[in-house]
Amino acid sequence: MQLDVIIQIAALVLAMAAHEAAHAGMAFGLGDPTAQRMGRLTLNPIKHIDPIGTILVPGVLLLTGSSFVFGWAKPVPVNYSNLKSRQDAMLVSLAGVVVNLALAMLAGFILQILWANGWVDRRGIVFLFLFWSVIINGVLGIFNLIPLPPLDGSHVVSLSLPPNLSARYTRMQPYAIVILVILMATGALWTVMDFFVRPVWRIALGDLAWMIQ
C-alpha cells in the first residue's frame, strides 16, 4: 500500500474519532452522560467504528483505485431528554463539524509555518499528514452539514422545525443512505460540496493553496 494512502487512512481515522468525541464531549458538558458511559468520549477510533462508513466505503474506494479515501464513524448516542433546550441539542449536533473545521485550520496553520521555514519536505510524512488532515477534516466537516438523516445537518434542520414537521423529516432516515450513494455515484454530491469545501481548504492552506488547484 502506498505511503500516501496509509497517511490518508490515518488522517481519516483521527478526523472521525475527533468528530465523534466532540459530540460526546459537548453532550456530556451539557448534561447528557450517555455517550460518556458507553465509552464514546474518547479519541480511540475502535470505539467509533461504523461497518459501512469506517470499513466498507473506504475499502471500496481503495479497491477501486480512488485517489481519495473517505468515510464516516458510528454516530454518538445522545439522550436529548437530558439536555435543557433545543439550542443545547444543536450545539451537540454541530460540535463535530466545528472540531473538524478547526482541525483543518490548525493543521493548515502548522503546515504553513513548517513549509515557510523549510522544515518539511513535500514528500515527507509530516507534510503529507498535515496536508491530508486539512483536506479530510474540511471534507468531513462540510459533508456532515448535509441535511440528510443521520448526518449532523439533518439534526439541526430537524431541531429547527415544528414537532410535526420534524417527525416527518426524521422518517427520511431509512432512505438517506440510498440517496447519498446515488448522489455520490452521479458526482452530484461532490459538485455541491466542492463549492463549500474549497474555500475552507484555501483559508487553511494559505500560500500552499496552489496544491489543490
Phi, psi of 162 (to 5 degrees): -60, 155
The candidate with the shortest Cα–Cα distance to 97, out of 132, 72, 80, 78, is 72
* Cell triple for 82: 437530558
> Cα–chain-centroid distance for residue 165?
27
* Cell triple for 208: 500552499
Whether cis (ω within 30° of 0) applies to the bond prior to 150 is yes
Q: Which of 12, 13, 20, 30 is catalytic?
A: 20
> Cα–chain-centroid distance for residue 199?
16
Rounded CA-CA distance 213/196 in Å is: 15
Residue 136, CA distances (Å) to 11, 34, 40 in order: 7, 28, 21
The candidate with the shortest Cα–Cα distance to 95, out of 23, 14, 20, 12, is 23
* CA neighbours closer than 13 Å in the CB half-sphere of residue 207: 9
Is 20 designated active site? yes
DSSP state of 50: -
What residues are labeled active site?
20
